[in-house]
């Protein structure tokens, strides 16, 4: 007896399920996400970071998203931020531009094209930009 017959006609294989979700995510527009950098790791071929949102006035994480950036763009992003004296270090507020992706092996991540560290004065401008974008998308 096959797994399909045991689970019934509505059963779906993991690969087919993730492919369906990935197809839906591929239709999403380019998005700007703001958060606090919790981690940053870059190798020659890939960079990963974790963005978090905290409950105001606390260190309690209320949301978390994994970011993925291919190697060469990640190196350019890291170099740009270092040159602008805003390195990608944990605790830094950042804005990321990209699209959600569901990779069949690595799972959900935000495939990022741009990641910018914000200095204190930039944070307010970024929040204003996000508010304008949200108002525009209503």
- All structural domains of the chain with their residue ranges: 7-131
Average pLDDT over residues 94-111: 91
Q: What is the pLDDT of residue 128?
A: 67
Please identify which residue in the block is written with the tokens 């930039």: 122
CB count within 10 Å of CB 120 equals 7
CATH fold of 7-131 reads: OB fold (Dihydrolipoamide Acetyltransferase, E2P) (2.40.50)
Q: What is the pLDDT of residue 33?
A: 93
125: tokens are 């401008």
Residue-wise pLDDT tens digits, 6-15: 666 788 888 8
Does residue 122 or residue 46 have the better pLDDT? 46
pLDDT category of residue 125 using cuts at 50, 70 and 90:
low
Residue-wise pLDDT tens digits, 38-96: 999 999 999 999 999 999 888 899 999 999 999 999 999 999 988 988 889 899 999 99
5: tokens are 């017959």
pLDDT category of residue 1 using cuts at 50, 70 and 90:
very low
pTM (2 d.p.)? 0.71
Does residue 137 or residue 51 have the better pLDDT? 51
Give the count of alpha carbons within 13 A of 112, CB side only. 32
Average pLDDT over residues 88-109: 90
The residue among 48, 119, 57 whose CA lies nearest residue 86 is: 119
């Amino acid at each position: 007896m096959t797994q399909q017959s045991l689970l019934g006609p509505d059963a779906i294989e993991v690969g087919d399920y993730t492919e369906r979700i990935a197809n839906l995510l591929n239709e999403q527009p380019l998005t700007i996400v703001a958060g606090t950098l919790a981690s940053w790791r870059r190798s020659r071929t890939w960079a990963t970071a974790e963005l978090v949102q905290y409950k105001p006035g606390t260190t309690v994480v209320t949301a978390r998203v994994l970011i993925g950036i291919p190697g060469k763009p990640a190196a350019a992003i890291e170099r740009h931020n270092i040159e602008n004296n805003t390195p990608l270090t944990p605790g830094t507020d950042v804005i990321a531009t990209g699209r959600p992706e569901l990779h069949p092996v690595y799972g959900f991540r935000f495939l990022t094209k741009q990641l910018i560290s914000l200095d204190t004065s930039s944070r307010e401008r970024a929040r204003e930009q996000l508010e304008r974008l949200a108002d525009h998308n209503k």
